[in-house]
Amino acid sequence: MQVKIIRSHRRTRSVSARAEGDVFVVRAPVQMDDAELQRIVERLKSRWLKRAHCPLLDDDELERRARQLNRHYFEGCLEWQSIRWVTNQEARWGSCTPTLGTIRLSHRLAALPAFVRDYVLVHELAHLVEPNHGPRFWALVNRFEKAERARGYLMALGLGDIDPAEPEA
């Protein structure tokens, strides 16, 4: 998304931003330091992007998809307490806390192809069986037919895989 900064003498302290079509328009005081403004712009843009993705994040649909994947790849044996989308995971695609039975997926996945979302979900579901990234864990994840393709997709984005370690095929 392109960012357009409009500086104004009438503004003294506040910075505002909004999307106008494909442009993120930021209004700021003339005297504001460029470095400080850049930090504010990044924070505002990040907050806006999170909010913009929220309508796509349906926890009930995510739960339904997890149940389908559980039946297909884990014979319906897995149980969890909650599974939902979150907007506070910037450094990882998903997380699983096996002891609590909670799975969280990053809102950033919402814009990716379904097979990539399914891969991340299968990855997190596998942690309910194997909490580490050992050979037995990767054997479970690699039952997903498009696992290698999904890992490649994530790597091509320049964002790496869910786990930096090489999975064992």
User: What is the architecture, at CATH level 2, of domain 57-156?
Assistant: 2-Layer Sandwich (3.30)
Task: Give the model's confidence band at 81: pLDDT under 50 very low, under 70 low, under 90 confident, else very high.
Answer: very high
pLDDT tens readout for residues 118-155 = 999 999 999 999 999 999 999 999 999 999 999 999 88
Task: Give the model's confidence band at 161: pLDDT under 50 very low, under 70 low, under 90 confident, else very high.
Answer: very low
pLDDT tens readout for residues 39-61 = 999 888 887 776 665 556 789 99
Which pLDDT score, from 0 to 100, does residue 53 have? 57
Q: Does pLDDT of 165 surpass 90?
A: no
Which pLDDT score, from 0 to 100, does residue 55 have? 56
The amino acid occupying position 81 is Q
- Bigger pLDDT: 72 vs 19: 72
Which pLDDT score, from 0 to 100, does residue 142 have? 96
How far, in Å, CA of 119 to CA of 105, rounded? Answer: 11
How far, in Å, CA of 78 to CA of 67, rounded? Answer: 9
Q: Does pLDDT of 162 surpass 60?
A: no
Mean pLDDT of the chain: 87
Where exactly are the structural domains of the chain?
2-55, 57-156
Stated pTM of the model = 0.66
Query: CB 27: neighbour CB atoms within 10 A?
Result: 16
Contacts by 102-109, CB closer than 8 A, 24 or more apart:
103/66, 103/127, 103/128, 105/62, 107/50, 107/53, 107/54, 107/57, 108/53
